[in-house]
Amino acid sequence: MTYHPKSDFIAVMMERGFLADCTDYQGLDEALMQGVRPGYIGFDATAKSLHVGSLIQIMMLRWLQKTGHKPITLMGGGTTKVGDPSFRADERPLLTPEQIDDNIAGIRKVFAAYLDYDSGAENAALMLNNAEWLDDLNYLDFLRDIGRHFSVNRMLSFESVKSRLDREQSLSFLEFNYMILQAYDFLELNRRYGCILQMGGSDQWGNIVNGIDLTRRVIDHEVYGLTSPLLTTSDGKKMGKSQTGAVWLNAEMLSPYEFWQFWRNTTDADVGRFLKLYTELPLDECERLGALAGSEINEAKIVLANEVTALLHGPEAAAAAEATAREVFEKGGVGDDLPTLTLSPDELGDGISVVQLIVRSGLAKSGKEAKRLIAEHGARLDDQPLTDAGLMIDAGALSSPIKLSAGKKRHALVQLG
């Protein structure tokens, strides 16, 4: 890709590794040179929090604002009722309107950490909900005015649909409508707010192109699409998953310490790339840190963990997480903000098995996994090897908090409340 951008936003996207594809580099670049331009990304409300897999999109919106433009976060209050079929093997479970509203309230908290919504500046961010225009659509009018612009033949050719049909997996008519509704969002945002850009992961390419075509056909406006690469770690895993499940962005679903640890445990080969994508450190510093080798790369991982955690949870949470980690790993002590399981005297009764504590503190998913951890010498109690899967912990043992460990990097406290 040899295009040399004039606009700060496209330059940042290209230099830092955010760009997979764009419908018209030059057209978008020139449009961004003509003042404050709005761009959006849609987020369906399928859970109470987004996870790390969405962080690349959130950073794109942040950079859009930092380079002088207006980010729009579009909550899918309407589209979540349908469910995006892109690259899924099955239909999403349908949520009630109340569940969707709850999820939107949870997701909203995260965006406040990354975007400025309240300054009153021309490029202040907007948070919108597509239920505003989708909930009251008249079906027959919508079919006649919007549906006629879509070719079923073309929709069947999109990779996200084709992959499902090729595997002979059912695609419901409900899901097939999703791409029409997402296209309609772009048209509405252009009409209402002058939005010229839709961004998303590269799996959204077909949906984005549909929105551009529809906007051109219905109101003859020039709009653009830009996608980011679908991130996998250097060992081929999908970004956003850890050994213990999804890496959530909301603090009540994943503690700042555990979030910090996720980044601290980054594979050496990914450090430089992740610094460019998930922090705002200058490029030359990202490259310098990413090139460190041996034990020095660990300090680069701490910088990465601190920077990413500070953006989401604040500098104090990042500093506390680092202090806890240093205490746990370097001094073998007990840190202040390790994940903590607090037992009531009733729960404890005459005693509770250490296997149960390992599961309840999140260090293993099942009793079977906890027993295997102990059998393979991967579990420790207060930094001493744990060898007895039948060990019972009573009130005497919990007169002060105990520390459980799974492997070298995962720890939890258990205390009596």
Was 193 annotated as part of a binding site?
A: no
Distances 189 to 21, 194, 222, 368, 369 between C-alpha atoms, Å: 22, 7, 13, 51, 49
Give the residue from 307, 331, 355 where a domain finishes: 331
pLDDT higher than threshold 70 for residue 61:
yes
Residue-wise pLDDT for 171-183, tens only, equals: 777 777 888 999 9
**355 vs 394, higher pLDDT:** 355
Q: What is the pLDDT of residue 84?
A: 60
Identity at 382, one-letter amino acid code: D
Per-residue pLDDT at 263 exceeds 60 = yes
pLDDT at residue 45 is higher than 70: yes
Bridging pattern class, strands 224-228 and 197-201 = parallel
Residue 235 falls inside a structural domain: no
pLDDT for res 334: 54
pLDDT band with cut points at 50, 70 and 90 for residue 390: confident
- pLDDT grade, residue 306 (50/70/90)? very high
The domain total for the chain is 3
243 belongs to an annotated ligand binding site: no
356 is in an annotated binding site: no
Can you give the pTM of this predicted structure? 0.79
Mean pLDDT of 207-214: 94
Residue 281 lies in a domain: yes
- pLDDT recorded at residue 15: 96
Q: Read off the pLDDT of each residue in 189-208 and give the average, rounded to a whole number.
A: 94
302 and 170 assigned to the same domain: no
For residue 299, what are the domain limits?
A: 255-331
- What pLDDT, in 10s, does the model give residues 391-401? 888 877 776 67
pLDDT in tens, 82-134: 766 554 555 567 788 899 999 999 999 999 999 999 888 999 999 999 999 99
Mean pLDDT, all residues of the chain: 88
Together in a domain, 158 and 213: yes
User: Would you give the DSSP letter of residue 188?
Assistant: H
Residue 250 lies in a domain: no
- 197 with 288, same domain: the answer is no
User: Which pLDDT score, from 0 to 100, does residue 55 have?
Assistant: 96
Nearest-angstrom CA–CA distance, 273 and 41: 22
At residue 92, the pLDDT reads 60
Amino acid 9: pLDDT: 98
Q: So what's the pLDDT on residue 54?
A: 93
Chain-centre distance for alpha carbon 343: 31
CB of 225 closer than 8 Å to CB of 182:
no
Whether 188 contacts 252, CB under 8 Å: no
**344 and 306 in a common domain:** no
Tell me: do 148 and 181 sit in the same domain: yes
Q: What pLDDT, on the 0 to 100 scale, is given for residue 294?
A: 85
Q: 203 and 262: one domain?
A: no
Residues 129 and 184 in one domain: yes
Most confident of 1-5, 318-322, 333-337: 318-322
Look up the CATH number of the domain holding residue 314. 1.10.240.10
Find the mean pLDDT for residues 154-160.
78
Q: Mark whether 197 and 136 lie in a shared domain.
A: yes
**Backbone φ, ψ for residue 39 (5° rounding):** -140, 155
Is position 178 annotated in a ligand binding site? yes
